[in-house]
Every structure is written in structure tokens, then in C-alpha cells.
Structure 1
Amino acid sequence: MLIGWLLRKVSALSVFSSRLAGLAVLLFPAPAIYSFNSGWPFVDALIVYGLGALIAAAVFTFMKTREQRA
């Protein structure tokens, strides 16, 4: 998520696009980096990070619907 926030600050990405970029980083490169450094199996890391990405996407969706109501 930090990478998505940084992308938004240094480029002209919208909030939604920067959140998607952060989720993509959380879902794809992060498990590979973690499993390489820790020795954890890649599939286990992918499942854990995938669940984190799903939770983050749900939070973003909830925040988006809440902002639209206000």
C-alpha cells in the first residue's frame, strides 16, 4: 500500500489507481520476495498475502461506498 501511496505522490495517478497499484504489489511481488528471504514456501506466502489483498480491497470498497454516500 505504501508503494501505491508513493506512486500517487510522485505521479498523476488517482486515488483508486494508486490503491490498485498497491494491491497488485501486495499480491504479486511481495510473496515472492518474502518467500525468497524467509525460506517459506511460495504458495503459503501467496495465500497469506492474497488474503491480505482481499481484506484491503474490501476495506477500500467500503470506504469508496461510504465516500459516495456523504
Structure 2
Amino acid sequence: MAQLIGASIVMTFTSILIGWIIKKRSDMSIFASRLIGLTVMMFVAPAIYFLTSDTPYFQAFFTYGLGALIAGTIFYFSRSKRQPS
């Protein structure tokens, strides 16, 4: 359970950072840039965790996959809603 909470926190904050960098470099929305950051981290984070510990890659990928799912849910519910004019 602690690994899942840690993976969610790591995925959320690093995706926000990558999304912020993408947002500064392009004309994308903040939500889309965060999702791109989340996608990048979905493949980078398990590989780093696998290389630095004795955990099997599938277990690291599953843990960070659930963390990415939780982070995506956080991004979805925290996005700004535009009012129709």
C-alpha cells in the first residue's frame, strides 16, 4: 500500500513538472500537457525502479501503472471547467 501511495505521489508531481515544461514550450492545454508527462513517466519510472532495486519489472510496472491511474484521476477532477459564454 505504501508503494502505491508513493508511486501516486511521484507520478503526480513529476507529471506536473513535465507538463509545465511542455506547456511552456508549446501551445497545449495544461491538462493535455500533464497527460503527456504522465505517459512519459509511465515508461520511465518503472525502468528506474527496476534498475535500482531487486523488484521484478512487471511488479514495478503494475505499481506505477496504478499510480499513473490515480494521478490521471487527480488531473481529471482538478482540471478547470470553462463556462459557456
Q: Structure 1 length as normaliser, TM-score?
A: 0.76
Per the alignment, residue 3 of structure 1 pairs with 18
| 1:26–1:50 contact (8 Å) kept in structure 2 | no
**Paired residue total:** 68
State the Cα distance separating 1:69 from its structure 2 match: 6.8
What fraction of aligned residue pairs are identical, expressed as a percent? 50
Per the alignment, residue 68 of structure 1 pairs with 81
Worse overlay, 8-17 or 31-40: 8-17
In the aligned structure 2, how far is the partner of 1:5 from the partner of 1:39?
A: 32
In the aligned structure 2, how far is the partner of 1:6 from the partner of 1:68?
A: 22
Kindly provide the amino acid, as one letter, of the partner of residue 54 in structure 1: L
Q: Which stretches of structure 1, 4 residues or longer, exceed 6 Å deviation after superposition?
A: none
Per the alignment, residue 53 of structure 2 pairs with 38
The two structures, once aligned, show a CA RMSD in angstroms of 1.9
Hey, which of these two has a bigger chunk of helix by percent? 1
Q: Which has the higher contact order (CA 8 A, sep 6+)?
A: 2
In the aligned structure 2, how far is the partner of 1:4 from the partner of 1:24?
A: 10
In the aligned structure 1, how far is the partner of 2:18 from the partner of 2:81?
A: 25
5+ residue gaps, structure 1, are none
